[in-house]
């Protein structure tokens, strides 16, 4: 395996085409200037004018037009930087726009302050007058008690770029500063990077190679633990200060307000999964140990494939066929969106030095979606790409049907459309084979990728994150030692004595950017709970269920998470969908165990 190439040396056809946003640098810079002029004009024309429902609606119209331009500009700056954190020009462009955006946010903060100062009666009247902005006015009413004096809001907005600094510092440390050395296993030398570890070595079937990679990866991470911990502490302390200023009892309540989710729904996902999923996953870990004939199961072994011989190598071109076959149930319009993502180069497949790890989908309003993934050719990539295309499909429909303010659903729901696609992919693969080895491989892909990723990896992040915020709420800080102890404690609680924690398992908290995005980690399990139930409906009912789902996607952020789930025929105000999903995971593991006995008996 070769070291990663520089961005300039990768095949352009494997990169995304950001020229669909701006043809060249000159166009981008002109758009920034125009946005600055428009922000100044907005302040001049509307400051002090928002006095009744009619003027409120007029101001929101103008504010929305400005925000649509800013979304496009910020997306370009962020996306260009994300594919190469060693590119000074791209990094400077992103930083410079961050400062400009902060200035504009400060300039225009009066709009929200003046809207908040309107009486509740006037806001309700505005909500009735404008169906388009009803969600915005209802949210203002809800957050009214937590709005600060206009000058304080203006000051906080001016510092918005600084508030983003910890996330930028985290990414810079992770992608630009950390240099992983080669590692040696069984007398052979292998190159190591974030991308190669998470895309290959972490799931490498050869135990000496996998464990040696984990050891070197962890030893290298450990050198940066204090800087990364300080960065994270800075972030959570800023969140705590903001929540205190706004009069929230807890940082958690402050962050949940944005999601339209109450504390019980948040706690339920973490508490029920920690307790009731753990026995199933311990059983899965023991099954892996038996299949591989390991003396002991360690944390470094949990990502092993059940049967590596059934791991087909898949090209980018071949992945298109998988997407078309698996997602055809969603209808022609959905498939057209999927195929345009390939033909219009909206997906960045390339592996290169300095590229962000993992995968994401960015969907600037009115400009389609852009997907980042580092293609390694594994089946996991197919599931990940299906996942990201699920986000793209969601925004395709939501942006078409909703205005900018209503287009993005709550974080609680945001991972449902993406994980739904993973379920559709798995169902398609299962339906097309009777071979017990292939069936076992598909079922283990669902458990080891879809559910492990969302119900274990991200859920354990959420359990860890909750402990961090509880500490911060009590007036405490965190450092590397505390974060390591908290993470190790969560891992040991979940895995019990079925898995030994290697040195380095506790450093897993260093690997995820989600901690800088509010209460994001737990929402993966919430979304997958909804999509598991929905996928079962699609399997049983076909087109009527698909129509319900597409109708739900079109609603975007115009409804609360519980209302969106209800549109899809799912009641998440109870714990039944979550417990049904956990039972389903248990059934999958039981079926894998049964197939393993059948295969071994042959």
d(CA 365, CA 162): 25
Does 1 score more than 80 pLDDT?
no
Alpha-carbon distances of 83 from 8, 165, 357, 358, rounded to whole Å: 11, 19, 9, 11
Q: Would you call 498 exposed, middle or buried from its count of C-beta atoms within 10 A (0-12, 13-18, 19+)?
A: middle
For residue 175, the model assigns a pLDDT of 81
Residue 27 included in any domain = yes
* Residues 219, 92 within the same domain: no
* The two structure tokens encoding residue 220: 């290298």
In this prediction, residue 601 has a pLDDT band, given cuts at 50, 70 and 90, of confident
* Residues 35, 115 within the same domain: yes
pLDDT in tens, 163-202: 889 999 998 898 888 999 999 999 999 999 988 898 889 9
* Residues 84, 43 within the same domain: yes
Residue 244 included in any domain = no
* Residues 477, 550 within the same domain: yes
Q: What is the domain range of residue 204?
A: 179-223
* The two structure tokens encoding residue 420: 């739904």
* Residues 63, 152 within the same domain: yes
pLDDT in tens, 349-384: 999 999 988 899 999 999 999 999 999 898 889 999
pLDDT in tens, 187-240: 999 999 988 898 889 999 999 999 999 999 999 999 999 999 999 999 999 999
pLDDT in tens, 523-536: 999 999 999 999 99
Residue 515 included in any domain = yes
115, 132, 163 - which closes a domain:
163
* Residues 114, 255 within the same domain: no
Query: How many domains would you assign to the chain?
Result: 3
* The two structure tokens encoding residue 301: 């072994």
Q: For residue 278, how many other CB atoms are within 10 A of its CB?
A: 17
Query: What CATH code is carried by the domain that includes residue 157?
Result: 1.20.140.70
Residue 559 included in any domain = yes
* First CA to last CA distance, the chain: 35
* Residues 440, 514 within the same domain: yes
Residue 338 included in any domain = no
* Residues 159, 183 within the same domain: no
DSSP per-residue string spanning 113-142: HHHHHS-HHHHHHHHHH-TTTHHHHHHHHH
pLDDT in tens, 117-128: 999 999 999 999
* Residues 204, 55 within the same domain: no
In this prediction, residue 2 has a pLDDT band, given cuts at 50, 70 and 90, of low
For residue 158, the model assigns a pLDDT of 85
pLDDT in tens, 249-270: 999 999 999 899 989 999 999 9
Residue at token pair 């969908």: 577
Measuring CA to CA, which residue among 544, 535, 541, 545 is closest to residue 581?
535
Residue at token pair 């057209």: 336
Residue 328 included in any domain = no
pLDDT in tens, 5-41: 999 999 999 999 999 999 999 999 999 999 999 999 9
* The two structure tokens encoding residue 512: 């995820």
Mean per-residue pLDDT, 487-509? 97
Residue 200 included in any domain = yes
pTM of the predicted structure, to 2 decimals: 0.86
d(CA 439, CA 430): 6
Task: For strands 370-372 and 347-348, give the pairing.
Answer: parallel
Does 602 score more than 90 pLDDT?
no
Task: For strands 347-348 and 188-190, give the pairing.
Answer: unpaired
* Residues 304, 453 within the same domain: yes
For residue 574, the SS3 value is coil
Lowest mean pLDDT among 145-159, 379-393, 473-487: 145-159
* Residues 188, 155 within the same domain: no
Residue 337 included in any domain = no
d(CA 361, CA 368): 10
For residue 228, the SS3 value is helix
pLDDT in tens, 69-93: 999 999 999 999 999 988 999 999 9
* Residues 57, 126 within the same domain: yes
């Amino acid at each position: 395996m070769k070291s990663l190439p520089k961005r300039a040396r990768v095949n352009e056809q494997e990169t995304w085409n950001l020229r669909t946003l701006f043809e060249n640098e000159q166009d981008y810079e002109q758009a920034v200037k125009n946005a600055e002029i428009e922000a100044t004009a907005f302040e001049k024309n509307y400051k002090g004018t928002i006095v009744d429902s009619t003027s409120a609606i007029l101001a929101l119209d103008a504010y929305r037009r400005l925000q649509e331009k800013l979304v496009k500009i910020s997306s370009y700056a962020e996306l260009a930087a994300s594919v190469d954190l060693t590119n000074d020009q791209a990094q400077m462009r992103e930083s410079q726009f961050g400062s400009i955006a902060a200035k504009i946010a400060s300039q225009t903060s009066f709009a929200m302050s003046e809207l908040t100062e309107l009486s509740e009666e006037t806001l309700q009247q505005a909500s009735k007058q404008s169906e388009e902005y009803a969600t915005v006015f209802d949210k203002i009413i809800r957050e009214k008690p937590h709005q600060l004096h206009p000058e304080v809001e203006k000051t906080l907005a001016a510092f918005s770029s600084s508030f983003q600094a910890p996330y930028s510092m985290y990414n810079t440390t992770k992608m630009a500063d950390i240099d992983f050395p080669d590692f040696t296993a069984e007398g052979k030398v292998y190159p190591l990077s974030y991308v190669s570890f998470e895309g290959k070595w972490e799931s490498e079937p050869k135990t000496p190679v996998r464990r040696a990679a984990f050891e070197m990866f962890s030893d290298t991470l450990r050198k940066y633990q204090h800087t990364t911990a300080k960065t994270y502490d800075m972030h959570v302390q800023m969140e705590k200060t903001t929540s205190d200023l706004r009069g929230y009892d807890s940082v958690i309540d402050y962050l949940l307000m944005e999601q339209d989710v109450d504390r019980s729904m948040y706690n339920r996902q973490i508490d029920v999964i920690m307790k009731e999923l753990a026995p199933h996953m311990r059983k899965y870990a023991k099954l892996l140990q038996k299949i591989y004939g390991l003396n002991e199961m360690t944390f470094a072994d949990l990502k092993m494939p059940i049967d590596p011989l059934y791991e087909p190598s898949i090209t980018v071109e071949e992945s298109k066929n998988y997407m078309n076959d698996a997602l055809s149930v969603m209808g022609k319009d959905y498939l057209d969106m999927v195929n345009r993502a390939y033909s219009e180069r909206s997906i960045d497949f390339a592996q290169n030095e300095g590229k962000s790890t993992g995968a994401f989908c960015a969907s600037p309003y009115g400009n389609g979606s852009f997907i980042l993934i580092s293609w390694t050719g594994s089946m996991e990539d197919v599931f990940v790409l299906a996942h990201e295309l699920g986000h793209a499909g969601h925004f395709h429909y939501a942006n078409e049907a909703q205005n900018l303010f209503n287009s993005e659903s709550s974080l609680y729901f945001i991972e449902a459309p993406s994980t739904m696609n993973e379920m559709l992919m798995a169902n398609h693969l299962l339906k097309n084979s009777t071979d017990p080895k292939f069936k076992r491989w598909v079922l283990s892909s669902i458990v080891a990728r879809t559910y492990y990723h969302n119900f274990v990896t991200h859920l354990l992040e959420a359990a860890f994150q909750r402990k961090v915020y509880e500490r911060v709420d009590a007036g405490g800080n965190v450092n590397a030692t505390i974060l390591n102890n908290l993470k190790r404690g969560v891992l040991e609680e979940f895995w019990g004595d079925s898995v030994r924690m290697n040195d380095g398992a506790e450093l897993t908290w260093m690997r995820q950017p989600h901690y800088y995005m509010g209460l994001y980690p737990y929402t993966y399990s919430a979304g997958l709970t909804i999509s598991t139930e929905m996928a079962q409906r699609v399997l049983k009912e076909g087109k009527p269920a698909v129509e319900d789902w597409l109708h739900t996607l079109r609603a975007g952020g115009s409804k609360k998470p519980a209302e969106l789930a209800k549109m899809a025929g799912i009641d998440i105000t109870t714990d039944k969908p979550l417990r049904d999903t956990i039972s389903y995971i248990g059934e999958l593991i039981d079926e894998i165990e049964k197939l393993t006995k059948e295969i071994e008996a042959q």
